[in-house]
């Protein structure tokens, strides 16, 4: 199996919003976000597209099945002047499932309203910024297109 590049990371995070406006948030049990509310997230695996990865990660971490609404952002940075750390931010809606916590990575999972997120001191910087700006603009995927067989894509989507 191929491994994630040591120096270029591609992650995904999902903002899952219910019909009544609540957000699906997770509290990590490790790393820099330990004890903080954040979005379900993870790395893109070999053989999957970024949108497939975010749906998979949300299901694995929370038990919630989702549908992609669109792509709304990119978080990018460099760690210790050597690792390019990139994360695509997707907007999704829940379609089924009950909350089931992935205990190896998470302390808690919840659907929270924006006012609670705003007031909670455990909300991560990303959640706080999203709450202020909200993801009202997003890019919808164009599927069923192919730039040509010469590229040998087995999956191709354009978010514009």
8-16 and 83-96 strand pairing:
parallel
pLDDT at 113: 94
How far, in Å, CA of 24 to CA of 94, rounded? 9
How far, in Å, CA of 145 to CA of 142, rounded? 7
H helix intervals, the chain: 50-62, 114-119, 125-133
Where does 80-133 show beta strands of DSSP type E?
83-96, 106-112
Contact 58, 64 (CB under 8 A): yes
pLDDT at 1: 44
pLDDT of the chain, 160 residues: tens digit per residue = 455 578 899 999 999 999 999 999 999 999 889 999 999 999 999 999 999 999 999 999 999 999 999 998 888 888 888 889 999 999 999 999 899 999 999 999 999 999 999 999 999 998 998 888 764 555 667 778 777 887 787 777 776 6
pLDDT at 137: 53
pLDDT, one tens digit per residue, over 41-78 is 999 999 999 999 999 999 999 999 999 999 988 888 88
How far, in Å, CA of 87 to CA of 74, rounded? 6
DSSP state of 139: B
Segments making up each domain of the chain, as ranges: 8-159
Contact 11, 83 (CB under 8 A): no
- 8-159 belongs to CATH 3.30.420.10: no
Q: What DSSP letter does each residue of 23-47 carry, written as one string?
A: EEEEEESSGGGTT-EE--EEEPPTT
């Amino acid at each position: 199996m191929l491994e994630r590049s040591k120096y270029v990371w591609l992650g995904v995070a999902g903002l899952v919003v219910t019909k009544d406006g609540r957000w699906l948030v997770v509290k990590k049990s490790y790393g820099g976000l330990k004890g903080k509310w954040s979005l379900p997230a993870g790395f893109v695996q070999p053989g999957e597209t970024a949108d497939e990865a975010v749906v998979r990660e949300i299901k694995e971490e929370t038990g919630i099945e989702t549908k992609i609404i669109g792509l709304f952002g990119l978080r990018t940075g460099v760690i210790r002047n050597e690792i390019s750390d990139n994360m695509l931010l997707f907007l999704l809606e829940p379609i089924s499932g009950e909350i089931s916590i992935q205990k190896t990575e998470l302390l808690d999972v919840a659907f929270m309203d924006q006012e609670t997120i705003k007031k909670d001191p455990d909300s991560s910087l990303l959640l706080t910024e999203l709450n202020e700006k909200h993801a009202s603009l997003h890019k919808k995927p164009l599927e069923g297109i192919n730039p040509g067989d010469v590229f040998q894509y087995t999956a191709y989507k354009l978010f514009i």
